[in-house]
Amino acid sequence: MSDIMDDDTGAARASDSNVDLGLLAGVKVAMTVEVGSTQITLKDLLRLNEGSVVELDRMAGDPLDILVNGTPIAKGEIVVVGEKFGIRFGDIVDPEQRIETV
């Protein structure tokens, strides 16, 4: 496997064409789906109770963010699989852009 030196940091990174992903196949990562977010005051947070509604920054029907270990990798939509929720992948972030964020 050949390495390419990153000019900014001096760290070596493997070229895409020579990476053996089989070595990493068993590594577990955390995948999350972000519906939206908001900022509220502590005062408003303490007033929340069962049945409270908090408005998020995303419109209904907008694609959801799919993150792996906190890094955005795609946009998607919620689907129902049997009795569970699932996610259908839509726009996937370009692999080179994903590498840059790691």
Backbone torsions φ then ψ of 16, nearest 5 degrees:
-60, -35
Dump pLDDT digits (tens) for 4-25. Answer: 444 454 444 545 556 677 888 8
Q: How far apart are CA 79 and CA 76, in angstroms?
A: 10
Fold for 26-101, please state it: Surface presentation of antigens (SPOA) (2.30.330)
The reported pLDDT for the residue numbered 63 is 93
Domain boundaries, the chain: 26-101
Is the pLDDT score of 57 beyond 90?
A: yes
Q: What percentage of the chain's residues is helix, strand, coil (to nearest 5)?
A: 20, 35, 45
pTM of the entire structure?
A: 0.64
- With the C-alpha atoms ordered 61, 63, 69, 72, is the resulting torsion angle positive or negative? negative
The reported pLDDT for the residue numbered 2 is 42
